[in-house]
Structure formats: C-alpha cells, structure tokens
Structure 1
Amino acid sequence: MEQQPFKYHIIALFILSILLFIVYTFANHLATPTRYTINKTAAVYLAQSYRIDPSKSLTLTAFLDESNSRIAEPFDTIPWGLKSQNYWLLMKLDNRTAVSKELYAHFDNPMIDYLTVYQLDNQGQLINTFNLGDRQTGLSLFEYSVPHIEFTVAAQNQSFLVIKIDTTGISKTPINLYGEAEFKDLLRAQTAIWGIFVGVLIMAALYNLVLYFGIRDRVYLIYIGYILSALILMGSVLGFGFYLWPVSLQKLFNLHIVVSNYAIAFFTLSFCTMFLRYHKDKCWRYKLSLILLGLMFVLGFASFFIVEYISSQIFFAVLVLLYIVCIILIYNKLLSGFRWAKFYMISWIPLIIGAAIQPLELTGVLEYSFTTRHAFLVAILCEVILMAMALADRVRYQREKALYHATHTEQTKLLNSAMLKQAYMTLQLNQRTASLCLIRITDFNSLSHILNQTQSCQLVVAIAKSLELQLSKEREFINLDNNLDTYPRIADLSNGVLAFISIKTQSAQSLHDKLTKIRKSLPKHHPVQGFDLQLNYAMGYCILDGESGFDTWLQNGYFSLTEAPQTSYPNNHSKVMPVTMNISLAAAFQNALKTNQLTIYHQPQIDLRSGQTIGSEALLRWPNAPYEQINIEALILLAERTGLINELTLWVLDQACQDIAKFNHAGFFKHKVSVNLSAKNLMIHNLIEKIENTLLKHNVPAKQLKFELTESALIANQQQMISLVEQLTRLGIEVILDDFGTGYSSLNCFVSYNFSTLKVDKSFIIGLPTHSANRVIVKAAIEMAHSLGLKVTVEGVEDVTTQQLLKAMGADYGQGYYYSKAIAVDDYLLWLAENKQAN
C-alpha cells in the first residue's frame, strides 16, 4: 500500500523538474536585454559626465558652460541619494559608422517626477527637447510606463544628450541606449515578465477570494490585501501600473509610493500573525505584533503629508522592526512544532533576497541589469506562490486535524465512537455478521476522583494497549483504522469503556467465553506514583441484527454492560450474574418509581425566528447515587423489557402536567411540555381517558401538552397507533414525530399520521456546519415538512453557527445545549425568568 503514493511522488518530482527547466529557459531569454546596449552592438562611442545641483537652480546654459564643474565619470558612479536635489547628466555620442543610427534612450525609473532631455548637435546647438516623468501631462501610456526617447545620430558625427532629473523620491535612473531591434527585445522581455507577474497575482487573488467565501477565514482576505499591495507597489516601481489603473490614480500611487511600501509591510505582518494563529494565543508576541501594526498604520497615513525622501528613510527603519518581529513570531512557532507552516517559512527566503537586492542595486553595490532590476518582482512572485502553497498546506492540516479530532478522543488519543459507527455502516452495507464487544474498567468514575486527568488517561491507554495485544491474536476482531501506530481495533467510548467488533459467526456462549478469557488476561494492577491500583472489568456484547440503527446497537451494548459482573466471579456464577444484576436493577428502579425518587428535567425549545421559549421536553432523571450515572436510555429499555414502561409513562405524564401547572402559576401560560410515548404504551388500558383525567387533575389545558413518538414506535401496531394519534389530536394535544431520520420512517407515515411537528434527530445536527451531506438531508427534511404543513423542531443545537444555519434553512424550533442542558423544574423556572421569556 505504500508503493502507490511513492510512485505518485516520483511522477510529481518529474513534473516539477520539467516546470523548473521551462522556467530556467524562459528566464535566460528574459535576462539578456541589458547586455545589448548600442555601445556593445555598434561603433557608437559614449562619453559621460554629470553634476549634482543641490540648489535646484542650475540652468542648461550654466551646466554646459561650467565644464569644470562636471565630473567626467560614468553614470554608474553617480552618488544617487534621497535628497532634494537635481541631477544633470551629459552624454556624448560619437557615431563612427558610415550610416546614421536610429537610437532609443531608455530611462529605467518610471517614478521620476520630471525628466527633461535636451538633444544638441556637435556645435552645441539645441535640436530637440523631450519632457518625460509622471508629473508631466499629455504623455502616452507607453511613455509613462517606459520612459524613453527616440533620436538620430548622423553618420560620422557627434550628438549630445543633456538629461535633467528632478524628483523628490528615488532618483537613481539607469540610462541605456538601444538600437530598434534591441529596444523591441527589451519591451518584449518587460511585457512578458509584467504579464506573468500580474496574471499570477490576479489569479491568486481571485482563487483566494473564492476560498474565503467557502471557508470564511480572514487570513485569505489579508493574503489578497498583500497581493493588491504588491501589484500597486511593483506597478509604480516598474511602470506597468499605468496599464492597470487610470493614469490619474497611478500618478497618485507614484506620488505616495511610501504608502504602498507601508501597505505591503502591514499585510506581511498581518498575514504572519494570522497565519501562525497568534490571534488565538493572545500572548505578548501577539500584542507586540498589534503595536507594530498600529505604528505602521499611523506612519503610513502620515506619509501622505511628509516629503517622500524623508518618509522613505523612516520606512527603512520600520522595515528593520518588521523583520525582527516576524522572525520572533516564526521562531517561536518553530520551537512549538509548527511544522505544517514549512512553505510559509520558505517563502521568506526569496522575499529577503529580493528585498536585499533592490536597495543594493539602487545604491550601486550591485551592478544594474535587467535581472537585478526585476529581482524584487520575481521574489514577490515566488513568495506569493509559496504563500498560496502554505495556505493550501494549512487547509490540509486543518482538515486532517478536524478529521483526527472527529475520530479520536481528545484525552487518550484513541479512536472514538465515530470510527465505530463507520465500521458499523460498512458491515451493515456488506450485510456482514458482527458483534459489538465492550470492556469497562469497573468503578472508573470513582477512580477519576482519585486520579487526575493525565493519570486517568494513562490508565485507559495502558488497558487499551494490553487489550489490543490480546485482540491481535484473533483474526475475528476487525481494524477500525488503517493507522498501525495507534490501537486500530479499539474505540474509546469514554468513562473507562473500550469497544471493539467481532465479525466471526458464532454462538453467544462462544463469544461470551472468548470475552471472558480476554477480560481475565487484562492487567489486574496499575502502578500510580508508587500506589498499586487494583483493577476489575465488566464486559458486554450485542449482536448486530441488521435492523436496529447504530445508536440502538451501541445502547444495547451499554445495557449488556449493566448486566455484566462488576468484579471477578467464579465460573459457575458467570451465567447467573447477568440475570441477577438485571433483576436487582429493575427492582431498584421500580422502587424509585413508587417512592418518587425519580424526577423530571426540562430542556427548553426555542423559536428560531423570535428567540422565544415555546416549550420544553420532559426528560427522565434518576438523581440518587449510585444510579445517577446509569444511562437513562438503558433504564427506559429496561423498563420496556420488564413491563415498567407503562407505569413509568403515566408517572412522567403526571409530573409533566404538574410542572405545566407550575409554569402557568408563574405566568408562562403558553409554555408547552413534550412527553415521550413508545409503542409499549398502547397496552395502557384507557390511555386517552387517563390522559384527560391527568389534565383535569392539574387543571392544565390540553394544548399545553405534546407527545413525541419515535419512528420505531410507528412500526408496531400501526393501526392502533394511527387511532391513538387521531384521538390525541381531537383532544387538542399535538403529536410530534421524534428522532426523524434514525428509524424506519417513510413518506407514508406523514400521510397516515396526523402529526403537527417533525423533530430532526441530533445525529444529523452535531457538526452540521462542516458536514455538507447532513446539511442537504436536514434542508430537504425541513422543506418536505413545510410542504406538508408541519413545523420542524431540531435537537442537538450546540453553537451559534448551527443555530444561524438552521434558521437560514427555515427550521422553526431549536433544542440543545446552546440554549441550556436539561435542568430541574425549579432551576428551569429561574432560567425562564432570567432569559425574559414570559409568554
């Protein structure tokens, strides 16, 4: 199984090598334009000199006349600086060929404010004047984006170019002379790299905008902000921005180029902070990041009003702080094992290199060339690509993390019931025979009061490891996961209960004997800080019958645990104890029912549109130790099996009506209470009459009482149940179809039964925002119910996102822990008052 992914890795590496070869070949062609200036391709000789004018008062005549004030050095020796001064450059061209030369002078700085070029003949007479620069008006887009002039030098003749540079920003202006063919090659190379840069960044921005609308993560908006800032900054630096924005707007960007620098720095730090999830930590590093972000925002705004050569020097100082803070943020995450952010770490390499090359080229440390001129652009392009890969890697990690948390317990890191359910669905689909097997650490809840959480988890993991060793000896116990680094046959159901599945066709006695053998082989002692903890285990099992759902299968497994021995008993008692335990628990339960040791808790039901509490569901509780930890569903199943269910239902009905009377006395006259009915309740003699008498006894209107029927209850004695629902409806009592989607319901039940409400089971609601299939099912159920004139109640609402999603789907009522857990009636009355839900 490992060879297939490795084969795909080889294919991916091969594709990468082809792409890198294409990029290398393409880059070689783009990197050559500046090698072919006119002095390298034809017999045209150049002599250069310059003069810096700090007073900005020098005239053309004075510059030409005062030859002693000129420095006869090549232009690459000019000490360009961020100062308020003019630069005068003189270029002598000596064409020693027998033909005239059509030449192009390219001034590679589209951000110059004013660029004036004077062409003189060999006698020093002015032939032509060219006015360029982004402060000039009336120029073409070509002249704005690629400042240049076209002129002719006659054969065997000399010509002079005097260039005056007047700008408040970056003054360095590389000047190259090209023939027509070479100049066209330069334009093609520039256009290609501009097009690639703009195309990649726009596609990246659009793609991440789609991701934002799908994932709703703010980091994608910050990433798009970085891309737009990079487009604005490089559009000004390299000139292609005139093709992206209106001329007036691009001139504004050029005028406030420092603001663009602050913007890209701002989004760089914001992305670093959000991507590395410091906004979740709220530590001092996060606060440091916020302080620097605030500082950059203030300074960026102030740059609108500060001269560019001053504000740019302030920015360079802030840039140092930016790198320091980002290094601190990244280094801390590396120490904490944040390995999934590897692409983001790598993305800083081209950025740092490109950011270093640009000032080194501007200051003359590196020789000007087409490559160095566009190094920062290529660096940003690489960074954007790597950041996109980092975001994809982050999504992959979050998906894997979410899947891991969905399939593993948080404390023990063992598989949870979700993997058990997945195995169940596979077995049911394949119509395989299977048995659910459970092992419970006896008195685990009591042990948890002695042990801390870590020690409790270590105990469970140790037992699971030992159990896994025993199960691995038998082929009948299936793997729940393919990860061999964990315990793939075992699921941790919490509270010291471990589950596994046998697929061997065998008798119950044979399975019982095998589990008994496994139970006896488990550790009897566990050392905890020098204390030898004594351990006992209970076991249980339930055979898959092919009809009941997973919850029922699991519930029956839990119920079998209550029948299992709590300590180690001799073999001759092992078959008797389950029955004894069943009878003793039933006797205790019956006694609790007769002596009013049971109670009713209420869980509110909320109108999703108005936010009002419209009613509650009455839920049975047995608060007396040692029974308070027993699963209530198992108790109800026990009541059904032992004939206590009818007595229990009438008791719950009486308590519910008594509580309704309390609600009315407190002023909640419209508050309704739901009571559960089962198929077994059809056996209650004169059930409708008993319900009416109970309502009269407590002086409660029938409209304040509701009954909930599960789908499974509709299958048995269908005609009797239809009649019961009709009688309840005529009495004024609403009847609700409960746990919709978990049983055997069909569209026929909506036609046959006079339901008022459909109640969607919580198994479809837990994790609804991230479960697309469940969203489709729930929405379809809501629409179907509404089309049939039914209201829809949804249980299992545990967060505001789920509530908003259900509200948008059109659900009518919600119930779940987001509003309140089930609480005693007195506490529930206080809850109603505190939430101001008077009806």
Structure 2
Amino acid sequence: MEQQPFKYHIIALFILSILVFIIYTFANHLATPTRYTINKTAAVYLEQSYRIDPSKSLTLAKFLNDPDARISEPFDTIAWGLKSQDYWLLMKLENKSAESKQLFAHFDNPMIDYLTVYQIDNQGQLVNTFNLGDRQEQLSLFEYSVPHISFAIAAQSHSLLIIKIDTTGISKTPINLYGEAEFKDLLRAQTAIWGIFVGVLIMAALYNLVLYFGIRDRVYLIYIGYILSALILMGSVLGFGFYLWPVALQQLFNHYIVVSNYAIAFFTLAFCAMFLRYHKDKCWRYKLSLALLSLMFCLGIASFFIVEYISSQIFFVVLVFLYIVCITLIYNKLRSGFRWAKFYVISWIPLIIGAAIQPLELTGIIEYSFATRHAFLVAILCEVTLMAMALADRVRYQREKALYHATHTEQTKLLNSAMLKHAYTTLQLNQRPANLCLIRIIHFHSLSHILNQTQSAELIVNVAQALELQLSKEREFIHLENDLDTCPRIADLGNGVLAFVSVKTQSTHTLHANLSKVMKGLPKHYPVQGFDLQLSYSIGYCALDNENGFDSWLQNGYLSLAEAPHITSPTSPPKTMPTMMNISLATAFQNALKADQLTIYHQPQINLHSGKTIGSEALLRWPNAPYEQLNIESLILLAERTGLINELTLWVLDKACQDIAKFNYAGYTEHKVSVNLSAKNLMIHNLIEKIENTLLKHNVPAKQLKFELTESALIVNQQQMINLVEQLTRLGIEVILDDFGTGYSSLNCFVSYNFSTLKIDKSFIIDLPTHSANKVIVKAAIEMAHSLGLKVTAEGVEDATTQQLLRTMGADYGQGYYYSKAIAVDDYLLWLADK
C-alpha cells in the first residue's frame, strides 16, 4: 500500500474513534433517566400490589375492600396480556422525611385507551382523580405524549395511588416515580432522542426523494415509505407522534397501531427484495416475497376490523415469517457474492435486534428500561445511517460495473481488447520489447451455427481457463489486469481468438516452439449436451511496433494466424451450415454413429464402353425418421465442423470393406468401392495402419478399395496429403481426384499426386448436351487426363444422350441416376444380379 493513502486511513480511523466516543457519551447520558426513580433518590418507600379483572366489572370500592384478592408483588411480575381485561394497581407511598415531597408519576405507554389514577390520603379519603389515555378528550399534547400526573405527599405521612388500566391493545404500562429534577431530566432525554430521530428520518426521506427524482429508481420511494411507517409507528409507541400529526389523526394511528406495524413490515420486505434486485431474478424467493407481501397487505387491511389484542397476536406470528424470508433473501445474495450490499446487510443487525426487543419489552419478556424502551428507535437510526453508506457503496459499484463492462466481454466475462490496448500503451511507454500472441479455435465461426451464445461462451471460457493455466507456468507472459484474485493474462478478441503478450526477448523460432507447446496443453475435446466436440487450434504472433500503433499491431497479429483460409470455387457458393444445424442434431448424429444407426448406400459406376459395372461409390445415409430427409452434404459439413469427421470416416471405411466382403461372397470379386476422404482425416493417428487393419479384418484385397479426394482437400497441408496418396498407392489402393473443376487446383497437382482416376463434377455433366462451354471443358479434361495416364469418371449421367456424348468424348466411366440412384447393399446386390 502506498504511504499517502495509508496516512489518510489513519486520519479516518482517528475521526471515527472521536465520533464513536461522542456517540457513546451521549447514549450513556440518555440511558440514565430510569435509574433515578424516587425510591432510589429520596426517603420515599413503596409497597406494590395489583389485581387483574377479566370481567371488567371491578370498582374502586370493591378493589379497596377486598385486600385478599390483591397480589402483593412488584408490578414487574404482572402478567400483562393481549386480551380484554382491566388492571388495578396499588402503590402505597410513605414519606418518612420531614419535608413534603412533590412527585411525578410517569406512565410510559401513550397508547393506553383509558388510564385512571386515584390518590387517597392516609385518612382513606379520595384526594384527586386523574384521567389520562389517548381516548380521553381535552388533554394537552404534553399529557397525550407523556402520560403523567403530579401530586404531593406530606411529611411523615403516606398516600395511596390506585391506577386502573383499561385498553384493548398493549396493556403493559411501566410506572416510574420521579422527583421534579429527575422528571425534567427524563423529559430532556426523551426530547433529545425524539428530536434526533425525527430530524434524521425527515432528512433521510428528503434526501431519498431527491435521489428518486434524479435516478428514477423506485427503491427510493419504497425506502421513503419505510421511513414514514417508522415515524408513525414510533410516534405512537413513544408518544411524540402527537407533535407530528393533528391529535385526531394521531389518535387514529394509536387505535390502529397494528396497521402501522404491518406497514413498516411491508416496506421492510419490499425494500429488501427490491434493493437486492430480486425483481430482476424472478426466482422462487422473489415469488415467496410477493406472497408474504400480499398476505401482510391483506392482514393490515383486516386489522381495521379486528380487535387490537387479537390482531397483535397475528402480527407477531407474521413477524417470525418476515424474519425468515428476509434472512433467506440476504443469505442467498451473500452466498452469491453480492458484495456491494454489505452495508445494507450490516444494517439488518441492529434492525433485527431492535425490532425484536420492542415487542418482547412490551409483552414483558424483557425487563423495561429507558434503553430497551428506545431500542427500536436507535436501531432505525443505525439502519438509516448504514443505508446511506449502502447507497454510496451501490453508486461506487455501478461505476465499477460500468468500467468492468468497458474492459470485459459481455458473454465470456474475459478481458477484451481495451485491456490489451492498455497493456500495449504501458509497454510502449516503458519501451519494452513484446510479442502479441494469438490462439484461435479453428472453425469457431462455423460452430456458431450449432452452438447457442451461452454454449459458445462456455467453450471460450473453458479454453481460456486451460490457456491461463498453461501461461502461468511461464513468466514471460504478462498480466493484463492487476486483479489480486485472478491476475488474468488473456484477452478475448471474439470469434474464438484469445490474445496474450510475451515480453521475453527471443527468436521467432523459439517463440513459435513455446506457443506450440502451450497449444498442446489446450483441451482437444469439449462435451456439450452429451456431444463430444473435438477442437483444434492455430497460433499467430507479431512483435510490438512502436511506430504504427495498437490497431496495426493487432492487425498484424491476425494476419500471422497460422490457420489456412477456407477456399471455395468462385463459381459455386461457399459451404455454409444450414440454420437447422444445432448441437441437438450434432448429438443425435454422434449417438446414431455410436449406435450403428447409420448406413451406406451404393451408387454404381459403369464402364461406358463395355457397359459393365466396375464398382460403386459408398454414400452415407441416415435412414431413421426424422433424419432421412436431411441433406447428407450438410451432415458431412457438420461432422467436419464438430470434429466428428474422423470417427465417421473410419466407420464408413469399415462398412465399405464389410460390403466388399459381401460382394466377393456373391461372386463379384472384381467389384471396387470408393470411399471419400477429407483433409480433416489427416489428423487421424496412424491412418494407413488403421486402413490396413480394416482390410485384414474383413479379408478384403486393397485393390478393391478406392479413396476419393476433393480438390479443396489438396490445398491444405499439401505435403502431408502427397505422402498419404503415395502410401495408399504403395498399399495397392487407388486414389481418385473427386469433384474436378470446382476448386483452385493447378496442373501441378496431377504431377505431385499419384492419382489413378479423375472424376469430373456433376455440375459440368448434368446439362452437357445443351451447354457448349461445358462440352469444351469436359472434352479438354478427358484428353488432358488420358495424356497423363489417368482414367476419367463422369458423375451426374442422367440420360442416354449424355452417356453417348461422354462415350464419344472418350470418358471411361459414368455414374448417375441414369443407371441407378444410391441404394442399400442388399438392393444393390439384386441390382447387380439383374445386370
């Protein structure tokens, strides 16, 4: 950590310690009033007894005349309940001092409906009657907000206070007696904390209203609803609401206090779900929140018509479910790494504690004190403060999120070219030599036709993770981002291209060797929905150019990629994957291959001069519904793009040799079968050995097997293809140049490759009798092939006129619908028998 930021951290911690000390001192003074009741500060002694009247028929005279029915215990042992009953309390006060005492009795429950206090002197005479409660008329705001009485006890005498409590709601009423000075201290403490609470919440509401108009996020409106609910609820529970609202309205709030409880619970849950963005997820937790919100809304409305002590008990049950749901929502976000909401999560700690203390104190489970009485109020203050911090943290997170999206790809979440450009600028400023290195997934663009966006992104991430592991073994590859957790070295440039930077000074040959070593460590297979996708890669690299800039550096890197371009004939459209091709079809195709559900059909090849059948071409078919109508060329292309072509070729080879054995068994020992080879098949390990083993497996002579290679296959890895053709020829297998005329091959291929036959593409044959240009091309091709010692097969013969024209031109063999379409092997044997 740098020295200057650390210094500021020390200053911030020092300021925080001062603020904590001030808060502690202030809170300590506010928490003291109930410690100085009259029995602790003056020579006044108390005796307490009480009686609970479920019948609500007891009178003052009956209460006094039946002492045996009273319970002589302190008032904190009263079983305050949520039920309709009266409470009669007796306090015997004895002043043993030589002076008269002016006392104040504080009844700390401003929600009592009716509270009547009778003062009886030592002669048993009724001295005063005091009527309090929020249903009483013509009381002052002071008496409504702070229910109390003032009375005197003469020196060396005693006095009785009889208190009758009649209410339908929360009945617990802590009673404290104070001297005049102590009562003023209590009022000062209450006024201070009430003022702080109201001031902070009103400022918070105004601030959030401004934020709403600026940001237009409805979460701020929900939060304001929470603040207003808290003001109404606490104003009723603590009494200061009479200073905020008209008396009639505050009395209404007191009568329907349970509705206020439902309101604050409603906004608490709504804010929790909205702030944590569950409305974006629409998951079961969000639906659970909506269900509970609906329930609370309905119960809140019903509370207008249900007796308070019954609706209160229902609310306490709902409160348990509220806690469970909110904790579930918060826990799930914490587990999923919702780190920006940490202050909001922390704010729930005092809120949950304070909200639990309030009902527990009101119902007598927790002992009453000034601190517990105001615990929920303090909890809300803490929550508001922490929420302000949470909002600031959320703004910071949104700024970081915007920066993240500017430097990472949307789909893969990997670094993008912006971070690569940043690295380039840094290297350029430091004048460090570097090489841009690229690795491309071959045919990734074609895979986009069968993989959806999510699957493509997962593939890139899988390869990137493996590449990151390989790069971590070498110190020459720099980090593109100083992230303490990941320190990534890779940028995703899109379309299956991953980029990274080497800063090691080395020769091009050494760098190529290092990158080849890295590439070997990348996954060769990737499973997706049950399909085993086979992968291959190409590499590229270029040195840092300080002159032409980043764009030129990146462009040179793309140009250096070692993948050969896909070349097609200008006269034919490029091969594209049909839109129907997807990963589901690829999986079904792979499963059909493994389950031996594919088959090969045979299309005969005829000697144009003798009319005899000299062989056939083995053509792939998928006879199972609904796949029998699929275009086979598209399936072959699908197999090439997904890496399935090698497995498919070996399967076709095995089936072709199996059929040759059938032909031999039927007596057609000179019949030859042609199998198509792809440039991809060069990747088959020990291909020649596998071909020999297949021939031996079925006891088939090599001369009865032929392989057909397309012109485009000759362009890729020419030397490897030349070696393959030579090896096949030595083995006794004929190799045919297929689809002649549709590629870019030069005459040099006839010299370099040891072909036995040239096969003219059907596009030149189908309309041969009426197409003068095709006649010239076909005749020239036949003469050229014969001059080089090659036989000629014409594909696409569909009528007798075309057959006769080809025979006149000197073509050797013909193939097409004129003789037969491709048919299954058993049908083909019957066809041979008829011929």
Classify the TM-score, shorter chain: 0.5 to 0.7
- Aligned-residue sequence identity (percent) comes to 72
Q: Could you tell me whether the CA contact under 8 Å between 2:357 and 2:366 is conserved in 1?
A: yes
Shift of 1:112: 1.0
**1:259-315: per-residue Cα shift (whole Å, max 9, x none)?**
011011111221222233222222222212111110100000111121111111111
Closer, same or farther: CA 567–64 of 1 in aligned 2, 3 Å: closer
For structure 1, which runs of at least 5 residues remain unmatched after alignment? 569-580, 598-625, 627-839
Q: Could you tell me whether the CA contact under 8 Å between 1:415 and 1:490 is conserved in 2?
A: yes
Closer, same or farther: CA 119–432 of 1 in aligned 2, 3 Å: same
Counterpart-to-counterpart distance in 1, 2:421 and 2:207 = 36
Shift of 1:468: 7.7
Pick aligned residue for 2:476 from 462, 473, 477: 473
Partner of 1:458: 462
State the secondary structure of the residue aligned to 2:523.
Answer: strand
1:535 matched to 2:537: yes
Shift of 1:10: 4.6
Q: Could you tell me whether the CA contact under 8 Å between 1:438 and 1:497 is conserved in 2?
A: no
Shift of 1:161: 2.2
State the secondary structure of the residue aligned to 1:25.
Answer: helix
Partner of 2:327: 327
Q: Could you tell me whether the CA contact under 8 Å between 2:197 and 2:377 is conserved in 1?
A: yes
Shift of 1:239: 0.8
What is the identity, as a one-letter code, of the residue corresponding to 1:195?
A: G
- For residues 250-649 of structure 1, what are the structure 2 equivalents within 5 Å? 250-420=250-420, 437=436, 439-441=438-440, 443-446=442-445, 448=447, 453=456, 454-463=458-467, 473=476, 480-483=480-483, 485-486=485-486, 490-499=490-499, 522-524=518-520, 526-529=522-525, 533-539=535-541, 543=545, 554=551, 556=552, 559-560=555-556, 563-564=559-560, 566-567=562-563
TM normalised by structure 2 equals: 0.60
Shift of 1:524: 4.8
Q: Could you tell me whether the CA contact under 8 Å between 1:542 and 1:560 is conserved in 2?
A: no
- For residues 98-109 of structure 1, what are the structure 2 equivalents within 5 Å? 98-109=98-109
Q: Tell me which moved more, 235-244 or 445-454.
A: 445-454
Partner of 1:705: none
Counterpart-to-counterpart distance in 1, 2:70 and 2:329 = 51
What is the identity, as a one-letter code, of the residue corresponding to 1:407?
A: T
Closer, same or farther: CA 182–414 of 1 in aligned 2, 3 Å: same
Partner of 1:85: 85
Shift of 1:499: 4.9
Shift of 1:367: 2.7
Partner of 1:723: none
**1:195-235: per-residue Cα shift (whole Å, max 9, x none)?**
22223323333333333334333333222222221221111
TM normalised by structure 1 equals: 0.60
Shift of 1:84: 1.8
Q: Could you tell me whether the CA contact under 8 Å between 1:116 and 1:164 is conserved in 2?
A: yes
State the secondary structure of the residue aligned to 1:285.
Answer: helix
Shift of 1:322: 1.6
Counterpart-to-counterpart distance in 1, 2:270 and 2:249 = 26
Partner of 2:226: 226
Closer, same or farther: CA 184–268 of 1 in aligned 2, 3 Å: same
Shift of 1:426: 8.2
Counterpart-to-counterpart distance in 1, 2:482 and 2:561 = 33
What is the identity, as a one-letter code, of the residue corresponding to 1:29?
A: H
**1:324-373: per-residue Cα shift (whole Å, max 9, x none)?**
22233333334434454444443333333333333333333433221222
Shift of 1:497: 3.2
Counterpart-to-counterpart distance in 1, 2:81 and 2:4 = 59
State the secondary structure of the residue aligned to 1:330.
Answer: helix
Counterpart-to-counterpart distance in 2, 1:147 and 1:75 = 18
- For residues 133-212 of structure 1, what are the structure 2 equivalents within 5 Å? 133-212=133-212
Q: Could you tell me whether the CA contact under 8 Å between 1:436 and 1:544 is conserved in 2?
A: no
Closer, same or farther: CA 25–116 of 1 in aligned 2, 3 Å: same
**1:509-561: per-residue Cα shift (whole Å, max 9, x none)?**
x9989986876665256333499854322346785668xxx9xx63x556545
Shift of 1:177: 1.0
Q: Could you tell me whether the CA contact under 8 Å between 2:442 and 2:563 is conserved in 1?
A: no
Counterpart-to-counterpart distance in 1, 2:480 and 2:522 = 27
State the secondary structure of the residue aligned to 2:162.
Answer: strand
Closer, same or farther: CA 224–427 of 1 in aligned 2, 3 Å: farther
Counterpart-to-counterpart distance in 1, 2:392 and 2:296 = 28
Partner of 1:64: 64
State the secondary structure of the residue aligned to 1:493.
Answer: strand
Closer, same or farther: CA 441–171 of 1 in aligned 2, 3 Å: same
Counterpart-to-counterpart distance in 2, 1:567 and 1:360 = 74
What is the identity, as a one-letter code, of the residue corresponding to 2:537?
A: L
Shift of 1:164: 2.1
Shift of 1:4: 5.5
Closer, same or farther: CA 172–393 of 1 in aligned 2, 3 Å: same
Counterpart-to-counterpart distance in 1, 2:266 and 2:256 = 16
Counterpart-to-counterpart distance in 2, 1:213 and 1:491 = 40
Shift of 1:183: 0.5
Counterpart-to-counterpart distance in 1, 2:69 and 2:522 = 94
State the secondary structure of the residue aligned to 1:93.
Answer: strand
Partner of 2:112: 112
Counterpart-to-counterpart distance in 1, 2:182 and 2:161 = 20
**1:100-155: per-residue Cα shift (whole Å, max 9, x none)?**
11111111111111222223332233333322211222222211111111122222
**1:436-487: per-residue Cα shift (whole Å, max 9, x none)?**
94635263525746985333332244446656877x538xx8x653336545
Counterpart-to-counterpart distance in 1, 2:333 and 2:62 = 62
Partner of 2:124: 124
Partner of 1:688: none
- For residues 657-668 of structure 1, what are the structure 2 equivalents within 5 Å? none
Q: Could you tell me whether the CA contact under 8 Å between 1:50 and 1:72 is conserved in 2?
A: yes
Partner of 1:631: none
Closer, same or farther: CA 159–563 of 1 in aligned 2, 3 Å: closer
* CA RMSD, Structure 1 to Structure 2 (Å): 3.9
Closer, same or farther: CA 163–558 of 1 in aligned 2, 3 Å: same
What is the identity, as a one-letter code, of the residue corresponding to 2:102?
A: E
- For residues 670-749 of structure 1, what are the structure 2 equivalents within 5 Å? none
State the secondary structure of the residue aligned to 1:136.
Answer: coil
Larger radius of gyration: 2
What is the identity, as a one-letter code, of the residue corresponding to 2:442?
A: D
Q: Could you tell me whether the CA contact under 8 Å between 2:466 and 2:523 is conserved in 1?
A: no
What is the identity, as a one-letter code, of the residue corresponding to 1:201?
A: L
Q: Could you tell me whether the CA contact under 8 Å between 1:259 and 1:303 is conserved in 2?
A: yes
Q: Could you tell me whether the CA contact under 8 Å between 1:111 and 1:236 is conserved in 2?
A: yes
State the secondary structure of the residue aligned to 1:527.
Answer: coil
What is the identity, as a one-letter code, of the residue corresponding to 1:261?
A: N
Shift of 1:174: 1.1
For structure 2, which runs of at least 5 residues remain unmatched after alignment? 527-532, 575-636, 638-835
Closer, same or farther: CA 516–87 of 1 in aligned 2, 3 Å: same
Partner of 1:46: 46
Counterpart-to-counterpart distance in 2, 1:208 and 1:389 = 13
What is the identity, as a one-letter code, of the residue corresponding to 2:418?
A: A
**1:618-668: per-residue Cα shift (whole Å, max 9, x none)?**
xxxxxxxx9xxxxxxxxxxxxxxxxxxxxxxxxxxxxxxxxxxxxxxxxxx
Partner of 2:683: none
Counterpart-to-counterpart distance in 2, 1:186 and 1:162 = 23
State the secondary structure of the residue aligned to 1:414.
Answer: coil
Counterpart-to-counterpart distance in 2, 1:95 and 1:206 = 52
Partner of 1:629: none
What is the identity, as a one-letter code, of the residue corresponding to 1:415?
A: L
